């Protein structure tokens, strides 16, 4: 059986849908905090069990019978994130899971300027220490994050953000398809995969040009000093750790942590991944 955590989230849900196109529903299970949100999957024959990263016993039950477990990383940072991942990995060992696949990120490293990448590196260490077969999916930076940064610019025409660097923005749909391919070709990657990235690395100067070409409206790129950006985020009600996390993305991008473009994603899905222009057009057409 293949078990997927986070199956009601953006990546987990898309991956379950892709798997359902390839394998019978009774070979799939999901671990979700709120089973009511996955009722439609249960209606289609998927095994749905409640599992919380804050309740290790529930995870052990949710992971029962898993030949492969897709562990979708938590939307947390720092020790809270790593401790949740540790609980899930310990539960997987207890449940005698055959293989763990983990949604890591390109740039995962202990010395990254981006907190999430440091958390991914620590989680990969935990996976290695289990002695179980494991794969870390080094996903490209989600294009959805860039679209969030652009939301105010969508209306003002001014992309006012800190100095950045090129980022290989990558779409959830392509990553879900690649994740499915890796799960079904069990053992294709041991340990970290190559970076699973979109077809180009773009900074926000390039994004401004794409936005202008896509909409027919002029977009400018204004560089906001780091301190001023942090103050803006705080003024909008975000807590300090979130402001620091957001700012660290730009610092890591300036250091070139997300610049790499690799062909592995294209090879896995059998076509070129969606460009950022395509993803922008889809998002702004809604």
The proportion of the chain whose per-residue pLDDT surpasses 90, expressed as a percent, equals: 96
What tens digit of pLDDT does each residue of 76-96 get?
889 999 999 999 999 999 999
* Per-domain boundaries in the chain: 2-139+172-196+261-269
By C-alpha distance, which of 78, 1, 89, 75 is closest to 33?
Answer: 75
What tens digit of pLDDT does each residue of 154-186 get?
999 999 999 999 999 999 999 999 999 999 987
The DSSP code sequence of 186-221 is TTS--EEPSPB--S--B-HHHHHHHHHHHHSS--EE
What tens digit of pLDDT does each residue of 190-247 get?
999 999 999 999 999 999 999 999 999 999 999 999 999 999 999 999 999 899 999 9
Question: Looking at residues 17-43, what average pLDDT do you find?
Answer: 96
Task: Say if domain 2-139+172-196+261-269 classifies as CATH 3.40.50.720.
Answer: yes
pLDDT of residue 187: 73
pLDDT of residue 234: 95
Burial class from Cβ neighbours inside 10 Å (0-12, 13-18, 19+) for residue 146 reads: buried
pLDDT of residue 26: 96
Q: What is the reported pTM?
A: 0.95
């Amino acid at each position: 059986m293949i078990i997927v955590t986070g199956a009601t989230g953006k990546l987990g849900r898309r991956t379950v849908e892709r798997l359902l196109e390839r394998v019978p529903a009774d070979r799939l299970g999901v671990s979700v905090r709120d089973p009511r949100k996955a009722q439609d999957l249960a209606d289609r024959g998927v095994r749905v069990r409640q599992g919380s990263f804050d309740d290790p016993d529930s995870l052990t039950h949710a992971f029962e019978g898993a030949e492969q477990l897709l562990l979708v990383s938590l939307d947390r940072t720092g020790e809270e994130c790593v401790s949740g991942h540790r609980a899930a990995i310990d539960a997987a060992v207890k449940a005698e899971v055959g293989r763990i696949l983990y949604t890591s990120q390109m740039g995962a490293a202990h010395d990254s300027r981006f907190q999430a990448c440091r958390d991914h590196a620590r989680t990969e260490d935990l996976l290695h220490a289990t002695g179980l077969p494991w794969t870390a999916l080094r996903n490209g930076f989600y294009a959805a994050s860039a679209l969030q940064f652009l939301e105010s610019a969508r209306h003002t025409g001014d992309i006012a953000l800190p100095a950045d660097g090129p980022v290989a923005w990558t779409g959830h749909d392509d990553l879900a398809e690649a994740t499915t391919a890796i799960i079904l070709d069990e053992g294709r990657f041991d340990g970290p995969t190559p970076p699973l990235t979109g077809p180009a690395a773009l900074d926000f100067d390039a994004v401004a040009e794409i936005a202008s070409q896509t909409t027919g409206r002029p977009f400018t790129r204004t560089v906001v000093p780091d301190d001023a950006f942090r103050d803006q985020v705080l003024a909008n009600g975000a807590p300090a750790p979130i402001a620091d996390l957001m700012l660290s993305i730009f610092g890591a991008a300036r250091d070139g942590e997300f610049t790499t473009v690799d062909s592995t994603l294209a090879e896995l899905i059998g076509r070129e991944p969606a460009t950022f222009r395509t993803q922008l057009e889809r998002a702004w057409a809604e």
